[in-house]
Amino acid sequence: MMIPISDAIRIVLEQTPKLVIESVPLSDSLGRILAEDIIADTDLPPFDRAQMDGYAVRAADVSHPPARLRIVGESAAGSGWHHEMKAGEAVRIMTGAPVPVGADAVQQVELTREANDGNEVEILERVEVGRSIVRRASEIKAGATVLRAGEDINAAMIATLASFGYSQVKVGRRPRVAVMATGSELVDVDQKPGRDQIRESNNHMIAPYAALAGATVARLPLAVDDTEQLKRQIAQAAEESDVLITSGGVSMGVYDFTKAALKELGAEVYFERVALRPGKPTVFARLGNTLVFGLPGNPVSVAVTFNLFARTALRAMQGATRPELIEETAVLARDLKGAVERESYLPAVLRTDEKGTLLAEPLKWGGSSDFVAFARATALINVPTGVKMIEAGSPVKIVRLPS
233 binds ligand AMP (CB under 6 A): no
183 binds Mg ion (CB under 5 A): yes
Minimum CB separation of residue 350 from ligand AMP in Å reads: 26
Scan residues 352-371 and list those touching ligand AMP (CB under 6 A).
369
Cross-strand partners of 218: 178
Cross-strand partners of 287: 290
CB-nearer residue toward ligand AMP: 9 or 207: 207
CB 230 within 8 A of CB 182: yes
Minimum CB separation of residue 232 from Mg ion in Å reads: 18
98 binds Mg ion (CB under 5 A): no
227 binds ligand AMP (CB under 6 A): no
Which of the choices ligand AMP, Mg ion, none does residue 223 contact, using the CB cut-off of 5 to 8 A by kind?
none
281 binds Mg ion (CB under 5 A): no
Q: Mapped to the 3 state alphabet, what secondary structure does the chain carry?
A: CCECHHHHHHHHHHHCCCCCEEEEEHHHCCCCEECCCEECCCCECCCCEECCCEEEECHHHHCCCCEEEEEEEEEECCECCCCECCCCEEEEECCCCECCECCCEEEEHHHEEEEHHHCEEEECCCCCCCCCEECCCCCECCCCEEECCCCECCHHHHHHHHHCCCCEEEEECCCEEEEEEECCCEECCCCCCCCCCEECCHHHHHHHHHHHCCCEEEECCCECCCHHHHHHHHHHHHHHCCEEEEECCCCCCCCCCHHHHHHHCCCEEEECCECEECCCCCEEEEECCEEEEEECCCHHHHHHHHHHHHHHHHHHHCCCCCCCCCEEEEEECCCEECCCCCEEEEEEEEEECCCCCEEEEECCCCCCCCHHHHCCCCEEEEECCCCCEECCCCEEEEEECCC
Among 95, 251, 378, 385, binds ligand AMP (CB under 6 A): 251
CB 72 within 8 A of CB 85: yes
CB-nearer residue toward Mg ion: 206 or 399: 206
Which of the choices Mg ion, ligand AMP, none does residue 347 contact, using the CB cut-off of 5 to 8 A by kind?
none
How many Å apart are CA 220 and CA 233, to the nearest integer?
A: 8
Scan residues 116-155 and list those touching ligand AMP (CB under 6 A).
none
Minimum CB separation of residue 253 from Mg ion in Å reads: 7
Scan residues 288-317 and list those touching ligand AMP (CB under 6 A).
296-299
Query: Which position's Cβ is nearest ligand AMP?
Result: 297
- Quick note: the x/- pattern for ligand AMP over 164-183, rule CB under 6 A, is -----------------x-x
CB-nearer residue toward Mg ion: 98 or 183: 183
Which of the choices ligand AMP, Mg ion, none does residue 61 contact, using the CB cut-off of 5 to 8 A by kind?
none
- Quick note: the x/- pattern for Mg ion over 237-266, rule CB under 5 A, is -----------xx-----------------
Applying CB under 5 A, the span of 70-78, 205-213, 293-301, 346-354 interacting with Mg ion comes to: 293-301
How many Å apart are CA 205 and CA 356, to the nearest integer?
A: 32
Which of the choices Mg ion, ligand AMP, none does residue 80 contact, using the CB cut-off of 5 to 8 A by kind?
none
Minimum CB separation of residue 329 from Mg ion in Å reads: 37
282 binds ligand AMP (CB under 6 A): no
Which of the choices ligand AMP, Mg ion, none does residue 253 contact, using the CB cut-off of 5 to 8 A by kind?
ligand AMP
Minimum CB separation of residue 251 from Mg ion in Å reads: 8
* Residues that bind ligand AMP in the complex, under the rule CB under 6 A: 181, 183, 185-186, 198, 200-202, 247-251, 253, 296-299, 369
